[in-house]
A and B are shown apart, each in its own frame.
Chain A
Amino acid sequence: MIAVPTISILAADVAGSAPEINLHPIDYSILGIYILVVIGIGFVLKKYMKSSSDFFLSGKSIPVWVTGLAFLSANLGAQEVIGMAASGAKYGIMTSHFYWVGAIPAMIFLAIFMMPFYYGSRARSVPEYLKLRFDEKTRGLNAISFAVMTVASSGASLHALASLLHLLLKWDYNVSLAVSSLVVLAYVLKGGLTSAIYTEVLQFFLIVLGFAPLVILGLEDLGGWSGMMSHLKPEFAHSWKYMGTTANPMGVEWFGMVFGLGFVLSFGYWCTDFLVVQRAMAAKNMGDARRTPIIGAIPKMLFPIIVIVPGMIALVLAAKAGSNYSIPLGVTGATDYNLVIPSLIAHYLPTGMLGLALTALMASFMSGMAGNVTAFNTVWTYDIYQSYIGRGKSDSHYMWMGKASTVAGILISFAFAYMAKNVNNIMDFLQLVFGFVNAPVFATFLLGMFWKRATGHGAFFGLLLGTFAAIVFHGISYPEPLEVGAKIIGSKGGWLGIHYQFTSAMAQNFWLAIVAWTFCFVLTIAISLATSRTKTDGELVGLVYSLTDKIQEESEPLWKRPSVVGSVVLLVAIVLNIIFW
């Protein structure tokens, strides 16, 4: 998972000043219709689920506009909607780095250079690509760590949703947990990956159409775009200008931002995380698989309008005399930026529109959970069960296992949600561990796809040592300047002695990723050169760049060529960076 700002809406927040929202039967009817439609889609799709390929890979038959929007929506869970609005209020327009630096270049790279190997190799999952390219142990390491991470993320999503509903609507935590799980289970169990992809597209339109009125009303209230920008502190109104100064609200300098976020973390997430790559692998053909990330990148570029601008509106509105609005406080008495979106919904939207916005919010949580569960059931069935436990079974058996693991995935998510509720900071700890594991991953894929000499031993031990380097770096760094004699909090770092002090946790995360990636990259090369190849050139055709025929695009019209459209999208992202410099 990419190091996006995390959300932790804890039950304890009830004691803060969260907005209380009262729903009218009209609001409930909108929510009810949405739930009926998504479950209905699952039941309609059931008749198309005839083989394990249909259930896990959508039979590679999904239209490209659907896979493209699902590719974007798979990342459009609660973290994005609530977390990015919170960051908009904390960092202003600088939050756009998570889009124009931390997403678009990686999505274009995946489309042009990496999808030909994922799709062309006929691998059914990202871990399976590692098996074909390297060996079984490298696949096992990636598959097991990914499976654990997806169900933990699903549990975190479930916990955040139930906590938010309890906080805003006073719904019972356990009932919210059970109802949202059952809805997700109902449509994923019937329609598999296709259900998850289709509901992700529904959720995309819901979020755009549910939250756009917030932006329109907020900007009107503040006198338009120029009215809002004129009331922001200068460092909140520019994305790069204050990067090298002490006024920089993110506390991250140029290199950490460009290399840490823009390369290591974003390429590690968008190019290797099976949750998003799975959407592109469900496309009908190679051309559509390559176009999928590019189609997703176009709305992704514009999404800051929907998710970051509300945070900036909240910041200005709270300071505006007579606005009768303030960003709610958490239990500690400090401003709780995670409540920016819910508080703006309560402030601006009347009954009716309120139901639409809350349905969009709930859809983003449930869709995030469904995406994680479908990625989990595929990796569990193909990469763990079929490889190590139940080899040589029939296709119908693997389809049954896919459904059983869907139920198991939901139950494990449930357990993680209760852990998050009852064990202090458990999700912070898990996210830290996942950060250690994820940081070096892209180095392995980069060398695997573009250097035929990389070996299985090099990949496996490079990954392990990269993770070890991340752990050690966490132990010798600290996310804030520390005064002499001040108490060190081990979960923040410094438990091996403080050698590097950063100005923010974000800067520490970005540098941890840089260190882990560099160690993995260098050590994979060194170990590969010291060990002999186990794969011949013939076995690596379709898996390594130099041994694979290049895809000829000349017969396609310009607007359908991934390299052309991708370059245009990248150019627009650069222009956006310059406009908001």
Chain B
Amino acid sequence: MNFDLRLPIGILFTLFGLILVGFGIFTKGSEISLGHNINISWGIVLLVFGAFMLLLAKRGKNL
């Protein structure tokens, strides 16, 4: 089967990361997590994870 699951995983989490970081920047300083802008910090985690999966998919080798 020539379908690499890392591609949709990478796309999904990169999208989630972009949405969270974007929304986090848009709501910076808002009164809406112990004072942390967790949308930005966790959004970056998701972006890194998503990019890592996309990179693995691009390499095309199985883990």
Chain A residues with CB under 8 Å of chain B are: 26, 29-30, 33-34, 37, 40-41, 44-45, 48, 58-59, 61-63, 65-66, 194, 198, 201-202, 205, 209, 213, 217, 220-221, 348-353, 356
Contact across chains for A349 and B33 when beta carbons are under 8 A apart:
yes
Nearest neighbor of A45 in chain B, beta-carbon distance? B3
Contact across chains for B23 and A352 when beta carbons are under 8 A apart:
yes
The verdict on B46 contacting chain A, using a C-beta distance below 8 Å, is yes
**Cβ contact of B38, chosen from A44, A198, A217, cutoff 8 A:** A217
Number of A-B contacts (CB under 8 A): 82
What chain A residues lie within 8 Å of B19 (beta carbons)? 26, 29-30, 33, 352
What chain A residues lie within 8 Å of B42 (beta carbons)? 209, 213, 353, 356
Given contacts A202-B8, A349-B33, 6 further A-B contacts (CB under 8 A): A63-B62, A65-B62, A198-B8, A351-B27, A351-B32, A353-B33
Chain B residues with CB under 8 Å of chain A are: 1, 3, 5, 8-9, 11-13, 15-16, 19-20, 23-24, 27, 32-34, 36, 38-39, 42-43, 45-46, 49, 62-63
Contact across chains for A63 and B23 when beta carbons are under 8 A apart:
no
What chain B residues lie within 8 Å of A348 (beta carbons)? 33-34
A-B contact pairs, 23 of them (CB 8 A): A26-B19, A26-B23, A37-B12, A40-B8, A41-B8, A44-B3, A62-B1, A65-B62, A65-B63, A201-B5, A202-B8, A209-B13, A213-B38, A217-B33, A217-B38, A349-B38, A350-B38, A350-B39, A352-B19, A352-B23, A352-B24, A353-B38, A356-B46
**Cβ contact of A356, chosen from B1, B11, B16, B27, cutoff 8 A:** B16
Looking at the assembled complex, report how far the CB atom of B1 sits from the nearest CB atom of chain A, in whole angstroms: 5
Contact across chains for A209 and B46 when beta carbons are under 8 A apart:
yes
- CA separation between A209 and B39, bound complex, in Å? 13
What chain A residues lie within 8 Å of B33 (beta carbons)? 213, 217, 348-350, 353
Question: Given A205-B13, A209-B13, A209-B49, A353–B5 Cβ distance below 8 Å?
Answer: no
Nearest neighbor of A65 in chain B, beta-carbon distance? B63
- CA separation between A30 and B42, bound complex, in Å? 14
Contact across chains for A34 and B3 when beta carbons are under 8 A apart:
no
- CA separation between A202 and B39, bound complex, in Å? 21
Contact across chains for A350 and B32 when beta carbons are under 8 A apart:
yes
- CA separation between A40 and B63, bound complex, in Å? 23
- CA separation between A37 and B45, bound complex, in Å? 20
Question: Given A62-B1, A66-B5, A352-B19, A33–B12 Cβ distance below 8 Å?
Answer: yes
Looking at the assembled complex, report how far the CB atom of B56 sits from the nearest CB atom of chain A, in whole angstroms: 10
Contact across chains for A37 and B8 when beta carbons are under 8 A apart:
yes
Contact across chains for A353 and B20 when beta carbons are under 8 A apart:
yes
What chain B residues lie within 8 Å of A62 (beta carbons)? 1
Looking at the assembled complex, report how far the CB atom of A152 sits from the nearest CB atom of chain B, in whole angstroms: 30
Contact across chains for B45 and A352 when beta carbons are under 8 A apart:
no
- CA separation between A63 and B34, bound complex, in Å? 41
Looking at the assembled complex, report how far the CB atom of A220 sits from the nearest CB atom of chain B, in whole angstroms: 6
Contact across chains for B20 and A352 when beta carbons are under 8 A apart:
yes
The 4 closest A-B pairs by CB, nearest first: A350-B32, A352-B39, A61-B1, A65-B63
What chain B residues lie within 8 Å of A26 (beta carbons)? 19, 23
Nearest neighbor of B4 in chain A, beta-carbon distance? A63
- Most A C-beta atoms less than 10 A away, residue of B9, B36, B63: B9
What chain A residues lie within 8 Å of B46 (beta carbons)? 209, 356
Nearest neighbor of A54 in chain B, beta-carbon distance? B1
Looking at the assembled complex, report how far the CB atom of B24 sits from the nearest CB atom of chain A, in whole angstroms: 7
Nearest neighbor of A29 in chain B, beta-carbon distance? B19
What chain B residues lie within 8 Å of A350 (beta carbons)? 32-33, 38-39
Contact across chains for B24 and A217 when beta carbons are under 8 A apart:
no
- CA separation between A37 and B5, bound complex, in Å? 11
Question: Given A65-B63, A201-B9, A351–B23 Cβ distance below 8 Å?
Answer: yes
Nearest neighbor of B31 in chain A, beta-carbon distance? A350
Question: Given A48-B3, A63-B62, A205–B9 Cβ distance below 8 Å?
Answer: yes
**Cβ contact of A209, chosen from B1, B24, B45, cutoff 8 A:** B45
Nearest neighbor of A47 in chain B, beta-carbon distance? B3
**Cβ contact of B11, chosen from A37, A59, A194, A209, cutoff 8 A:** A37
Nearest neighbor of A26 in chain B, beta-carbon distance? B23
What chain B residues lie within 8 Å of A217 (beta carbons)? 33-34, 36, 38
What chain B residues lie within 8 Å of A201 (beta carbons)? 5, 9
Contact across chains for A63 and B38 when beta carbons are under 8 A apart:
no
- CA separation between A202 and B11, bound complex, in Å? 11
Looking at the assembled complex, report how far the CB atom of B54 sits from the nearest CB atom of chain A, in whole angstroms: 14
What chain B residues lie within 8 Å of A213 (beta carbons)? 33, 38, 42
- CA separation between A352 and B23, bound complex, in Å? 7
Nearest neighbor of A36 in chain B, beta-carbon distance? B12
- CA separation between A45 and B7, bound complex, in Å? 13
- CA separation between A258 and B44, bound complex, in Å? 43
Contact across chains for A59 and B12 when beta carbons are under 8 A apart:
no
Looking at the assembled complex, report how far the CB atom of A559 sits from the nearest CB atom of chain B, in whole angstroms: 13
Contact across chains for A194 and B34 when beta carbons are under 8 A apart:
no
- CA separation between A202 and B27, bound complex, in Å? 28
Contact across chains for A198 and B23 when beta carbons are under 8 A apart:
no
- Most A C-beta atoms less than 10 A away, residue of B5, B11, B13, B46: B5
What chain B residues lie within 8 Å of A48 (beta carbons)? 1, 3
**Cβ contact of B20, chosen from A34, A194, A356, cutoff 8 A:** A356
- CA separation between A65 and B57, bound complex, in Å? 14
- CA separation between A455 and B9, bound complex, in Å? 47
